[in-house]
Amino acid sequence: MSEWLGKAVSRAEQISDWLSPQRQASLALLREAQWPSRKTEAWKYTPVHVLADAEFATAANSELVVAETIEGLNSIELVFTDGVLQSDLSQLPEGLSIVSLADAAAETQQWAAETFTAAKPARHLFGLVNDVLATAGVIIDVAEGVSIEPVVRIVHRVSKGCEAHNRVLVRIADQSSLTVVEDFSGEQKSFNTGFAEYTLGESASLEHYRFALQTGAALSVGGSHFNLATKAQLNSTLVGFGSELSRLDVDVNHTGEHAFAKLNAIYLLDGNELFDLHSTIEHMVPNGTTEENVRGIVADHSRAVFNGRIHIHRDAQKTLAELNNRNLLMSRDAEINTKPELEIYADDVRCAHGATIAEIDKGALYYLQSRGVSKAQAQIMLSFGFINELVDQMPNQVLAEWLRPQLRQRFANMEVK
Burial classification of residue 14, based on how many CB atoms lie within 10 Å of its CB (0-12 exposed, 13-18 middle, 19 or more buried)? exposed
Cα dihedral angle (355, 194, 227, 282), rounded to 10 degrees?
Answer: 30
pLDDT digits (tens, 9 = 90+) for 236-272: 999 999 999 999 999 999 999 999 999 999 999 999 9
Given this model, what pLDDT does residue 327 score?
A: 94
* Beta strands at 177-186 and 151-157: parallel, antiparallel or unpaired: parallel
pLDDT digits (tens, 9 = 90+) for 342-375: 999 999 999 999 999 888 777 777 667 787 777 7
pLDDT digits (tens, 9 = 90+) for 184-241: 999 999 999 999 999 999 999 999 999 999 999 999 999 999 999 999 999 999 999 9
Q: Are 320 and 350 in contact (CB under 8 A)?
A: yes
- Residue 65: pLDDT band by 50, 70, 90 thresholds? low
- 397-412 and 375-392 helices cross at what angle (nearest 10)? 150
Q: Are 82 and 158 in contact (CB under 8 A)?
A: yes
Q: Are 352 and 323 in contact (CB under 8 A)?
A: yes
pLDDT digits (tens, 9 = 90+) for 71-99: 999 999 999 999 888 888 888 999 999 99
The side-by-side arrangement of strands in the sheet containing 190-200 is 96-100, 136-142, 163-172, 190-200, 218-228, 245-254, 274-283, 303-312, 335-344
Looking at per-residue confidence, does 371 or 126 come out higher?
126
pLDDT of residue 168 exceeding 70, the answer is yes
Q: How far apart are CA 219 and CA 243, in angstroms?
A: 7
Query: DSSP letter string over 219-262?
Result: EEEEEEEEEE-TT-EEEEEEEEE-BSEEEEEEEEEE-STT-EEE
pLDDT of residue 105 exceeding 90, the answer is yes
What is the amino acid identity at position 89?
Answer: L
Given this model, what pLDDT does residue 398 score?
A: 97
- 375-392 and 362-370 helices cross at what angle (nearest 10)? 120
Q: How far apart are CA 93 and CA 335, in angstroms?
A: 47
From residue 208, alpha-carbon distances to 27, 28, 45, 179, 261 in Å are 29, 32, 28, 6, 11
- Residue 60: pLDDT band by 50, 70, 90 thresholds? low
Given this model, what pLDDT does residue 363 score?
A: 77
- Count of CB atoms situated within 10 Å of the CB of 167: 25
8-17, 107-116, 383-392: segment of lowest average pLDDT:
383-392
Given this model, what pLDDT does residue 384 score?
A: 76
Given this model, what pLDDT does residue 123 score?
A: 85
- Count of CB atoms situated within 10 Å of the CB of 281: 24
pLDDT of residue 1 exceeding 70, the answer is no
Q: How many residues does the chain have?
A: 417
